[in-house]
Amino acid sequence: MTTLAAGAATLDSRIDEASAKVESKVIACRRDIHEHPELGNREVRTAKLVADKLKELGIETRTGVAHTGVVGILRGAKPGRVVGLRADMDALPVTEQVDLPFKSTVRTTFNGQDVGVMHACGHDAHVAILLGVAEVLAGVKDQLPGTVVFLFQPAEEGAPQGEEGGAELMVKEGALDNPKVDAVFGLHVTSRYPVGKLAYRPEGMMAAVDSFKIKVTGKQTHGAYPWLGVDPIVVASQIVLGLQTIPSRQVDSTLAPSVVTVGAIHGGVRNNIIPDEVEMIGTIRSLDAKMRDEIHMRIQRTAESIATSGGAKATVTITTGYPITYNDPALTEKMAPTLRRVAGTGNVTVVNATLGAEDFSFYQQKVPGLFFWLGTRPANVTAEEAASNHSPLFYIDESGLALGVRAMAHVAADWLNGR
């Protein structure tokens, strides 16, 4: 064995030993955060917990990035490249229904409504895992060339109305600068895969997400005499059906999947009054940048044309959201052996893309990035039985968190060492 290989083997074993030692701390941290969830841009307690831990580890710490974000900088013993590791901190306006000793009972106000708050997407696990990784890597920094930047990010689920937030604001406020990050890694817990499994996909892994609002203006009249007005409810109904032909009939579905979903329709106040206006809102998901632009154009054309044919008017507003979560092919190919080494070859899978979305994509627009799934479904539960992320019944098998720590620590160390 060469000196270089022996050094790598030593580092690998040190990381594994340290990961095993921090497992109980990671679980305890996750439970603490789970019991005290906070919504986007309001993660004050969580940010303090993170900052205090990083400072305790001797890691240079910046707070107040993108409102409540925390950036930690760990400098290795030798000069080298800079790797970013990201965890999102925010919870969701969901009332928890899982019976746990550390169940969330938190309530707060979200966009003017009283809501329960729950870590229904697993961001509590992400924070705990990355704090575990920080402790592991701080303990082996004598063998690390370069620098590790820990990105503890608020508001991945979206900022409150009227506010900026999330990865986009982290980037804008320089989270990837000084030191300049050269590559970035992130993971996401999921109930789609059991404990012990990792999954990823090169190139487009998660969809771009955009929102739309369509206002249909007709002419109000008595419900008994529709011919005396223009019924925007009927026109809106036709628009809903017309929009479904965009992903199914108007774009090449063999190139990449896409979805146009109408999530709400509002209009009218009485059963016998045809209203003046109807408003509908919805979401657009796409996995191809050119197709994304084409879908936007076709939504506008479809809505306006159908409205015109019924004597009404449609006003379409499309708001762009997160870009495609795009795993850099070269980086993904380079780091896939690390994932297989850590989890075991049979436990790492290349999977289909999903139409879910992730604002990790904003980091990937600036530097090469790799995002992967960490299975946290109990082994005795099927994928069909398990509650999905964002469900009030979402449940994490904490025995899967240790693999998350090892995976993130090893990809960072391997990338810094050029393995």
Q: Residues with catalytic annotation?
A: 322, 398
Is the peptide bond between 179 and the residue preceding it cis, with omega within 30 degrees of 0?
yes
Find residue 320's DSSP bridge partners: 210
Angle at 282 between CA 281 and CA 284, to 5 degrees: 145
DSSP string over 14-45: HHHHHHHHHHHHHHHHHHHHHHS---TT--HH
- The Cα 261–Cα 289 span in angstroms is 18
Angle, in degrees to the nearest 10, between helices 123-139 and 401-416: 50
Beta-carbon contacts of residue 266 (< 8 Å; ≥ 6 apart): 278, 279, 280
Beta-carbon contacts of residue 352 (< 8 Å; ≥ 6 apart): 201
Look up residue 400 and give its two tokens: 């899967």
Question: Starting at the edge strand that comes first in sequence, how are the strands of the sheet with 60-65 ordered?
Answer: 60-65, 69-75, 145-153, 78-88, 183-194, 369-377, 198-200, 348-350
Count of alpha carbons within 13 angstroms of residue 336, beta-carbon side: 17
DSSP conformation class of 165: -
Beta-carbon contacts of residue 155 (< 8 Å; ≥ 6 apart): 40, 41, 66, 67, 90, 165, 166, 169
